Amino acid sequence: MKCSIRFASGITLTLLFASGVKAVEPPDVKTALSIVQKHCVECHGADVQRGGVRLDKLTGDPSEANTWSAVLHQVQSGMMPPKKKERLSGQEMGSTVV
Ligand code: HEC
């Protein structure tokens, strides 16, 4: 299990799992954002902010490092998205990111 967060040009979040899912392409912030939009914003957006967490305004700016780190932690530990919700696909996990 490897987890890296790097802020060079913009944001790069990488999640590599023990299952050997490999990043198929350089992770990019657009992919990360689209995954957050798809899986997280319904509970962490403008209308609802579960746990006081709001994710719809993320842009990938390095100042959001703490938020991304929390996002990464939640996804990686399997706590988010909540169990009853659609899980992230292997592709989403591997190529990315959040
Ligand atoms: C079905 C609703 C729902 C969805 C979808 C959802 N969350 Fe959450 N989230 C919650 C609730 C409820 C809490 C607060 C209670 C808790 O900690 O379990 C929470 C809390 C959090 C927290 C704060 C945890 C803490 O320990 O302070 C983070 C970070 C988070 N979510 C990230 C995400 C991410 C990233 C996604 C998408 C991959 C996501 N959530 C999708 C409902 C949701």
- Give the residue whose CA is nearest to atom 23 of ligand 1: 51
Using only C-alpha atoms, the chain has a radius of gyration, in whole angstroms, of 12
pLDDT in tens, 32-71: 888 889 999 999 999 999 999 999 998 888 888 888 888 8
pLDDT at residue 59, rounded to an integer: 87
pLDDT at residue 53, rounded to an integer: 93
Q: Which residue has the higher pLDDT, 54 or 7?
A: 54
| Residue 1 in tokens | 């299990």
Residue 98 CA: which ligand 1 atom is closest? 35
Percent helix, percent strand, percent coil in the chain, to nearest 5: 35, 10, 50
pLDDT at residue 85, rounded to an integer: 81
Q: Where are the domains of the chain?
A: 29-98
pLDDT at residue 6, rounded to an integer: 56
> What residue ranges line ligand 1, CB within 6 angstroms?
39-40, 42-44, 50-51, 53, 70-71, 74-75, 80-82, 85
